[in-house]
Amino acid sequence: MAETSKQTISIREYPVDEHPDKNYLNHDKGILSWLITLDHKRIGLLYLGSITFFFFLGGVLALLLRTELLTPAQSILDADTYNQIFTLHGAIMIFLFIIPSIPAALGNFFLPMMIGAKDVAFPRLNLASFWIYVAGALFALFSIVTGAVDTGWTFYTPYSTETGTAVVSMTLGVFIMGFSSILTGINFIVTLHKLRSPGQAWGKMPLFLWSLYATAIIQILATPVLAITLLLLIMERVLGVGIFDPALGGDPILYQHFFWFYSHPAVYIMIVPAFGIISELISVFSRKTIFGYWAIALSSLAIAFIGFLVWGHHMFVSGQSELSSVVFSFLTFFVGVPTGIKIFNWVATLYKGSIDLKTPMLYALAFLFLFTIGGLTGIMIGALSVNVHLHDTYYIVAHFHYVMMGGTVIALLGGIHYWWPKMTGRMYNEVWGKITCAVIFFSFNMTFLPQFVMGSQGMPRRYFNYLEEFQGLHQFSTIGSYILGLGFVMMALYLAYSLFRGPKAPPNPWGARSLEWMTSSPPTHHNFEYTPVILHGPYDHHQPEHEFRMGLVSESKETHG
Amino acid sequence: MSTSNHHTDDHLQHHFKDEDQQFESSKLGMWIFLVTEMLMFGGLFVAYIIYRAWHPDLFYLAAQELDAGLGALNTVVLIASSLTIALAIRSLQLDEFKKSIQYLSATLVLAATFLVIKYIEYTDKFAKGILPGGHYSYEGISHEMAANFFSIYYLMTGLHGIHVLLGMGLIGWMIIKVRKRSVHSRYFTPVENTGLFWHLVDIIWIFLFPLLYLID
């Protein structure tokens, strides 16, 4: 670095070619050019398509569950089928949808563009990671058709070692998908360290990238532990190795420790990238520099770190020592601090901003409401005495749906709308976007608010029947879930319509300042035809836009030096 | 794939500015990968620690069944192979291709030796009925959890053995690369990274050997 700072470089503005003939979508033709593409943008879209498919599948399963819960007794599913369906809903939504969702789809697409790189550091590894994901997904689907799984997505022993269902193929699928997640994490860390453009200091990176960086650290440190845990579980079933099985002298609590050592940090793999998207949306649609840049950036890392120390809060009633429970409960409160810092900084960014209520911003505001509810109820159930009462009730179900769906999915939708013009080159219909956002916001609350009430009144989770006094709330929740499903259908329709009939998108429809908006929509194959040079911060809305389109004057001088 | 009009070396991929950047990226990526490997083995080491803390007597008794002589021999074999692969990288950096191939082949032979010795140990145990988990039928150890120790033994050495096999595959691939001269003093990243992986395999064994064989 010391060497390059002595060098003088000359820069100039590179005006954007509005609609180039060649872009990344028509650069190569044919299905094969997509399936073996090394282009991070295309791989991002492959992921986006896959997670959309699995979100649909998991969503249909969720609606089946809600339909069964219309009546206190059996309605359409028997108890065993119900167990299988809630397990599949959880496993699909967690491992096939939400873990890869933001990093692998939007992250893959925008991480290199935001730092002015042509690609991620290891494009072939990136493609491999997608196909490993597909292979893992095939194992999971195979397990669904060969007897499904009825253990819950957590695969707790000893039941998971005893049940006659297809646990081995499902866990093998999750094991394989773990490698995909690890490879993505490695790729992102190396890319951010080594491929940033001249002038792109760490302090000038968009906050979305800080959140992806924190996520990648969790991915590489936590996922291998899940891998070995599931491998041990598979060995338990195949060979009876007796590490987790009490009948063979093993310890089922040890399984829970192992599992949550991954799966609690994994919760942050799911939510931290969402924080990154919200930082982008709030700043861009308030036309204001983000408030507390470093506080937001470093709180992502703080969450990644503290997130490794809270796993025991899943085990307050599993028989761990009281001292451990007290420590874990304290650390659980503690992880709320950096999260709270983010919320306050976002609200402070809104203050006196010139707020533009476009669809992505509506999702960002919906996120602030829903995630705050999800986060604060998380603090409540982190308290020991309250947790004992609410453990394994619908209160927990409502809490993590507020965080995962109200948080991550809402942020993902905001991100998809925000970057839709860049990814597809088309504008979606703003009116339909806003209507759909409102439908989703209200129906989401209709679905999950009653579950807080039911949970606090003692409705246990994972039951396919219930006491009659809960029927009203259950039915209210089910109707909400139908409207929620309808909201997603509406979104699918207007987004699909925009692909064919939507107006062509300008390079920077939102007046944003980060680098991905300084090239055409959709971008060309190499993202930039020059080496971008970054002069200002990503949220410096007070600086003239052309100063964000600077690049090195002479390419050749740069490369042989 | 590569649009390297202004690059003369074909190994420089289009999205890198120069070779230093590419080399440093690959190496950083490899180190991060090694971290994930350590964490994966870390899970097994935690299981080992917990079961040893719970049943110290079992670990003492069961370790007597393992052949410390063969274990020690294997340790020497692997440490020697770490030396030969380091020498192979050194030779390649000096463009001494023949020597590099010889050292890589020596590493391959040593790795195979390790697996042969491991095979002798395993079959010896299998013959006695010391099999993993539910298949355990040996009666020479008077401890009800005896099968448990050997489950951990087989899991740890087995996962390590798989890594030895993977390493052998990589080393074989590197021999082909050196033969084709697609790696040389200006570009030796793949061989360097293979070396890093092989040292990890070595280091894990250096921990496994005393933990499993030398319990006193």
Total CB pairs under 8 A between chain A and B:
127
The range of the structural domain enclosing residue A82 comes to 37-560
Rounded to a whole number of angstroms, the distance from the CA of A517 to the nearest CA of chain B is 20
- Output the six-digit token pair for A451: 């579950």
pLDDT over 70 percentage in chain A: 97
Please give the average per-residue pLDDT across A77-90, as a whole number.
94
- Please tell me the predicted confidence (pLDDT) of residue B15: 86
**Which amino acid is present at A297?**
A
User: Which residue in A213, A403, A365, A369 sits closest to A300, CA to CA?
Assistant: A213
- Output the six-digit token pair for A43: 């791989």
On the question of pLDDT at A533 being above 80, the answer is yes
Q: Is residue B6 part of a domain?
A: no
Best mutation target among B25, B52, B196 (most A Cβ atoms within 10 Å) is B25
Gap between the Cα atoms of B100 and B171, Å rounded: 11
Given the structure tokens 């008794």, which residue do they identify?
A: B61
Instruction: Give the one of A119, A194, A235 whose C-beta lies nearest to B21's C-beta.
Output: A194
Best mutation target among A184, A239, A253, A527 (most B Cβ atoms within 10 Å) is A239
Q: Which residues on A lie below 8 Å from B50 (Cβ)?
A: 251, 254
Query: Is the preceding omega at residue A252 within 30 degrees of 0, hence cis?
Result: no
On the question of pLDDT at B8 being above 60, the answer is no
Per the CB < 8 A criterion, the answer to whether A380 and A402 are in contact is no
Q: What is the pLDDT of chain A when averaged over all its residues?
A: 94
User: Which residue in A461, A474, A423 sits closest to A48, CA to CA?
Assistant: A423
On the question of pLDDT at A509 being above 50, the answer is yes
Higher-confidence position of A343 and B8: A343
Gap between the Cα atoms of A284 and A537, Å rounded: 13
Gap between the Cα atoms of A240 and A199, Å rounded: 57
- Output the six-digit token pair for B50: 């917990």
- CATH number of the structural domain spanning residue B65: 1.20.120.80
End-to-end C-alpha distance for chain A, whole angstroms: 14
Q: How many residues does chain B have?
A: 216
Best mutation target among A181, A241, A560 (most B Cβ atoms within 10 Å) is A241
Q: What is the pLDDT of residues A270-305, one digit of tens each?
A: 999 999 999 999 999 999 999 999 999 999 999 999
Instruction: Give the one of A112, A228, A249 whose C-beta lies nearest to B40's C-beta.
Output: A228
Task: Determine the 3-state secondary structure of A14 from DSSP.
Answer: coil
Q: What is the pLDDT of residues A458-494, one digit of tens each?
A: 999 999 999 999 999 999 999 999 999 999 999 999 9
Q: Is residue B29 part of a domain?
A: yes
Q: What is the pLDDT of residues B150-183, one digit of tens each?
A: 999 999 999 999 999 999 999 999 999 999 999 9
Q: Which residues on B lie below 8 Å from A531 (Cβ)?
A: 17
Gap between the Cα atoms of A151 and A157, Å rounded: 9
DSSP codes of every residue in A236-249: HHHT---SS-GGGT
- Output the six-digit token pair for A350: 């809104």
Q: Is residue B11 part of a domain?
A: no
Q: Is residue B179 part of a domain?
A: yes
Q: How confident is the model at residue A6 (pLDDT cuts 50, 70, 90)?
A: low
Instruction: Give the one of B25, B33, B151 whose C-beta lies nearest to A241's C-beta.
Output: B151
Gap between the Cα atoms of A200 and A180, Å rounded: 28
On the question of pLDDT at A4 being above 80, the answer is no
Gap between the Cα atoms of A296 and A301, Å rounded: 9
Note whether B133 contacts A250, CB cutoff 8 Å.
Answer: no
| A258 inside 8 A of chain B by CB | yes
Gap between the Cα atoms of A404 and A271, Å rounded: 7
Which residues are registered as beta bridge partners of A460? A393
Note whether B25 contacts A123, CB cutoff 8 Å.
Answer: no
Note whether A189 contacts B32, CB cutoff 8 Å.
Answer: yes
User: Which residue in A322, A462, A328, A457 sits closest to A392, CA to CA?
Assistant: A462
CA atoms within 13 A on the CB side of A306: 21
Gap between the Cα atoms of B82 and B68, Å rounded: 21
Instruction: Give the one of B6, B134, B159 whose C-beta lies nearest to A239's C-beta.
Output: B134
Q: Which residues on B lie below 8 Å from A121 (Cβ)?
A: 15, 25, 29
Q: What is the pLDDT of residues A25-76, one digit of tens each?
A: 998 889 999 999 999 999 999 999 999 999 999 999 999 999 999 999 999 9
Q: Which residues on A lie below 8 Å from B7 (Cβ)?
A: 559
| A36 inside 8 A of chain B by CB | no
Global pTM?
Answer: 0.94
Note whether A186 contacts B32, CB cutoff 8 Å.
Answer: yes
Q: How confident is the model at residue B9 (pLDDT cuts 50, 70, 90)?
A: low
Gap between the Cα atoms of A66 and A480, Å rounded: 10
- Please tell me the predicted confidence (pLDDT) of residue A25: 92
Q: Is residue A29 part of a domain?
A: no
Name the DSSP class of A352.
Answer: T
- CATH number of the structural domain spanning residue A430: 1.20.210.10
Most distant CA pair in chain A: distance in Å? 77
Q: What is the pLDDT of residues A372-415, one digit of tens each?
A: 999 999 999 999 999 999 999 999 999 999 999 999 999 999 99
| A249 inside 8 A of chain B by CB | yes
- Please tell me the predicted confidence (pLDDT) of residue A560: 41
Rounded to a whole number of angstroms, the distance from the CA of A456 to the nearest CA of chain B is 37
**Cβ-based burial of A120 (10 A; exposed 0-12, middle 13-18, buried ≥19):** buried
Q: What is the pLDDT of residues A330-347, one digit of tens each?
A: 999 999 999 999 999 999
- Per-window interface: A 520-549 vs B, CB < 8 A: 526, 531
- Output the six-digit token pair for A233: 């579980």
Given the structure tokens 């866990």, which residue do they identify?
A: A171
Q: How far is CA A438 from CA B50, B77, B117, in A?
A: 52, 67, 68
Three state DSSP letters for chain B: CCCCCCCCCCCCCCCCCCHHHHHHHHHHHHHHHHHHHHHHHHHHHHHHHHHHHHCHHHHHHHHCCCCHHHHHHHHHHHHHHHHHHHHHHHHHHCCCHHHHHHHHHHHHHHHHHHHHHHHHHHHHHHHHCCCCHHHCCCCCCCCCCHHHHHHHHHHHHHHHHHHHHHHHHHHHHHHHHHHCCCCECCECHHHHHHHHHHHHHHHHHHHHHHHHHCCC
Instruction: Give the one of B3, B28, B132 whose C-beta lies nearest to A190's C-beta.
Output: B28
Gap between the Cα atoms of B169 and A90, Å rounded: 38
Please give the average per-residue pLDDT across A236-261, as a whole number.
91
Gap between the Cα atoms of A106 and A100, Å rounded: 10
Q: What is the pLDDT of residues A181-225, one digit of tens each?
A: 999 999 999 999 999 999 999 999 999 999 999 999 999 999 999
Q: Which residues on B lie below 8 Å from A125 (Cβ)?
A: 29
CB atoms within 10 A of CB A506: 16
Q: Which residues on A lie below 8 Å from B43 (Cβ)?
A: 224-225, 227-229, 232, 258
Count the helices and strands in chain A (H runs, E runs).
Answer: 20, 2
Per the CB < 8 A criterion, the answer to whether A188 and A242 are in contact is no
User: Which residue in B104, B72, B75, B81 sits closest to B91, CA to CA?
Assistant: B104
Q: Is residue A53 part of a domain?
A: yes
The enclosing H or E element of A349 equals: helix A322-350
Q: Is residue B9 part of a domain?
A: no
User: Which residue in A38, A298, A242 sits closest to B135, CA to CA?
Assistant: A242
Note whether B24 contacts A194, CB cutoff 8 Å.
Answer: yes
Gap between the Cα atoms of B96 and B185, Å rounded: 9
Q: How many domains does chain B have?
A: 1
- Output the six-digit token pair for A59: 């969503």
Beta strands in A251-325 (DSSP E): none
- Output the six-digit token pair for A42: 């295309």
Q: How many domains does chain A have?
A: 1
Task: Determine the 3-state secondary structure of A229 from DSSP.
Answer: helix
Best mutation target among B3, B58, B151 (most A Cβ atoms within 10 Å) is B151
User: Which residue in A271, A266, A267, A277 sits closest to A111, CA to CA?
Assistant: A277
- Please tell me the predicted confidence (pLDDT) of residue A555: 52
Gap between the Cα atoms of A248 and A233, Å rounded: 13
Instruction: Give the one of B15, B33, B148 whose C-beta lies nearest to A249's C-beta.
Output: B148
Q: Which residues on B lie below 8 Å from A118 (Cβ)?
A: 14-15
Note whether A123 contacts B13, CB cutoff 8 Å.
Answer: yes
Instruction: Give the one of B14, B43, B145 whose C-beta lies nearest to A225's C-beta.
Output: B43
Gap between the Cα atoms of A508 and A513, Å rounded: 9
| A559 inside 8 A of chain B by CB | yes
- Output the six-digit token pair for A509: 């429809």
- Per-window interface: A 167-196 vs B, CB < 8 A: 182, 185-187, 189-191, 193-195
The range of the structural domain enclosing residue B182 comes to 19-213
On the question of pLDDT at B10 being above 80, the answer is no
Note whether A558 contacts B17, CB cutoff 8 Å.
Answer: yes
Q: Is residue A293 part of a domain?
A: yes
pLDDT over 70 percentage in chain B: 95
Q: Is residue B23 part of a domain?
A: yes
Q: Is residue B10 part of a domain?
A: no
CB atoms within 10 A of CB A68: 22
Which residues are registered as beta bridge partners of A129? none
Q: How confident is the model at residue A557 (pLDDT cuts 50, 70, 90)?
A: very low
Q: Is residue A215 part of a domain?
A: yes
Note whether B43 contacts A121, CB cutoff 8 Å.
Answer: no
Q: What is the ipTM of this complex?
A: 0.91
Best mutation target among A22, A108, A197, A228 (most B Cβ atoms within 10 Å) is A228
Q: Is residue B12 part of a domain?
A: no
Instruction: Give the one of B3, B25, B47 whose C-beta lies nearest to A194's C-beta.
Output: B25
Which residues are registered as beta bridge partners of A12? A551
Q: What is the pLDDT of residues A300-340, one digit of tens each?
A: 999 999 999 999 999 999 988 999 999 999 999 999 999 99
Q: Is residue A248 part of a domain?
A: yes
Q: Which residues on B lie below 8 Å from A189 (Cβ)?
A: 28, 32
Q: Is residue A28 part of a domain?
A: no
